[in-house]
Chain A
Amino acid sequence: MKYCLKEVAAVIRSKNAGPYELTLDVMLKDRETFDRLKEADVINKKTIAALYHIPEEDVLSIIYFPNALAIKATIVRPLPSGAIGERDVYGAQQHAPLVNFTFEM
């Protein structure tokens, strides 16, 4: 069955994690969906790299965190915080590609 991430997630957000990293959090609405997503390996380095058009090695980690029904992906910021040409100092508006992410499960 086809799902859209915004329909199963309670939170989809991005934030800087220090000046050189950007971290993406998805918190699911219920444990069943979290377990199924984890089982199906829906969010992994490959999917994040494809969603953001970045090389897989720039996806530093993917962590499933059951205590908060959360999946966390951390990527290298294209430019460090406040660098010339940088666009989002707090990194709080880099989540959009995840919102309409659709997947089979």
Chain B
Amino acid sequence: MKEFRILSPTGIVGYGFPEESFAAGVALKPDLIACDAGSTDPGPYYLGSGIPFTNDTAVKRDLTLMLKAACELHVPLIVGSAGGSGATPHLERDVRIVREIAREQKLSFKLAVISAEFEKDYLLEALRAGRIEKLGPAPEVTEEDILASTHIVAQMGIEPIMRALDDGAQVIICGRCYDPAAFAALPVWLGYDKALALHLGKILECAAICATPGSGSDCIMGYLGEDYFCVEPLNPERRCTPASVAAHTLYEKSNPTILPGPSGHLDLNECRFTAENERRVRVTGSRFVPERIPSVKLEGCRQAGFRTISICGNRDPIFISQVEDILNDLKKRTAANLSADFEYQLDFIVYGKNGVMGALETADRITSHEIGIVVDALADTQEHASAVCSVARSTLLHYGYPGRIATAGNLAFPFSPSDIKVGPVFVFSVYALLRDEDPASLFKRSYEMIGEE
């Protein structure tokens, strides 16, 4: 079996990569260029709002290099989780950029676009049929959660991408996608071992993070054989070691040896990581354990209201010593001064006290000479959120606490205006498994001949 080469340019399309590293990868004649483009790390706003967390100009720069190389080498380019969150508006943004690049660079290819967004009616039916299951500490999904969501996506596995390959696609842009799937689909389609392909994909999807020094925005090459795979960074300043590659599966996973994904889990307990040379690591022994009924992970978000914040500071030792009591009382004063006929939430983030860790903070006293306060107001409309923030901020500014001697004002504002309208706020509303015997059928594919008039 010929060794199959995969070039992974960067951790997320739009995070960038050095052109020298990429050229070094292209010179090695990869059989596939693949890249992940998304994550839930930046929180619920992006999926909920439909706005990509990656920048248009940066995405265009990265995709231009990838598309040109894929066309020159006549190899597929597969992108997973387009636009960051992989719902329809995110996918459309990336597809628009792909068309634009093809037009400007005079490239031609068969494009497949695979949607990962789900209709609410379909999900309600699946919920009633008992096909939606609770996942970890996330709450049980209800009909209300589905109805309230603005976007619900599922992470596709390799199956729908393999269907697009059946249909002759050369460039495949996927909606929300299990990160390794964009890397593993083509080699599995060609007959390579699924466990090794997925484990390799798991490492490649974060680009050079598995190297030392690590980087999520530098290129790496994967080599897949019949019963092993190897990884090697393309920047001569980095190298892969058995420890750096083994350690990679620790990153943002709850278990480094059992990695659940669509249709089954990877078991890495029997893996061996050995140094091929100073910079290249060989891995063997990855196993894939299929599920009885395949599943895909659902992610959905709903709007929780609008937010207005105010950022301010305090440098008074008498105020700081009482800050907890002051802020508790301030909530009551704000309610009294506002007489709101709407629901709202008012929170204070106090940097210097527990601003970073909140409920998990174990330090029991403030040792800083100054504190930062973020007034965080949330309500059903932007106007209402701004009203709450404004009244809380002005009440706090002139609040008379016991022993107060700085009577001109309690807060230092770094900015004018002091209040910032943050806009709509989203929260996760659906995080669960959807079971289906035929996971490929869940994701709609469409095709387009690009650049052939």
Contact = CB atoms under 8 A, between A and B. Distances in A.
Interface of A: 15-21, 23, 25, 27, 51-54, 60-61, 63, 65, 67-70, 72, 74, 76-90, 93-94, 96-97
B336 interface: no
B193 to A, nearest CB: 20
B357 A94 contact: yes
Contacts of B359: 78-79
Contacts of B138: 18-20, 80
A67 B44 contact: no
25 contacts: A16-B252, A18-B40, A19-B43, A19-B428, A20-B138, A20-B431, A27-B250, A53-B360, A54-B360, A67-B242, A67-B246, A68-B243, A68-B246, A72-B250, A78-B359, A81-B41, A82-B427, A82-B428, A87-B355, A87-B356, A87-B357, A89-B41, A93-B357, A94-B357, A97-B360
Contact of B254 (A68, A74, A87): A74
Contact of B358 (A69, A82, A85): A85
Given A67-B271, A87-B358, A23 B253 contact: yes
Contacts of B243: 67-69
B416 interface: no
Contacts of B250: 25, 27, 65, 68, 70, 72
B360 A52 contact: yes
B255 A72 contact: yes
A18 B251 CA distance: 11
A65 B359 CA distance: 29
B418 interface: no
A79 B358 contact: yes
Interface residues of B, number: 42
- Find the residue from A19, A69, A72, A84 having the highest chain B CB count within 10 A: A19
B298 to A, nearest CB: 12
A56 B32 CA distance: 46
A84 B349 CA distance: 11
A74 B251 CA distance: 12
Contacts of A51: 362
B368 interface: no
A100 B254 CA distance: 23
B345 interface: yes
B357 A21 contact: no
A85 B357 CA distance: 11
B255 A61 contact: yes
Contacts of B41: 16, 81, 89-90
Contact of B349 (A16, A87, A94): A87
Interface in B340-357: 345, 347, 349, 354-357
B256 interface: yes
B345 A84 contact: yes
B247 interface: yes
Contact of B378 (A19, A63, A76, A84): A84
A80 B376 CA distance: 17
Given A27-B250, A67-B256, 16 more contacts: A17-B254, A21-B254, A23-B254, A27-B247, A63-B255, A65-B250, A65-B256, A67-B242, A68-B256, A77-B137, A81-B41, A84-B345, A86-B358, A87-B355, A87-B357, A88-B357
- Find the residue from A74, A76, A81 having the highest chain B CB count within 10 A: A81
Contacts of B362: 51-53, 97
Given A68-B250, A74-B255, A21 B345 contact: no
B450 interface: no
8 smallest CB-CB distances across A and B, nearest first, come from A82-B43, A67-B246, A68-B247, A74-B254, A87-B358, A78-B359, A82-B44, A89-B43
A83 B137 CA distance: 14
B272 to A, nearest CB: 9
A76 B256 CA distance: 17
Contacts of A20: 136-138, 428, 431
B213 interface: no
A92 to B, nearest CB: 9
A93 B356 CA distance: 7
B42 interface: yes
Nearest to A52: B360
- Find the residue from A53, A68, A88 having the highest chain B CB count within 10 A: A68
Given A68-B246, A88-B357, A89-B43, A18 B431 contact: yes
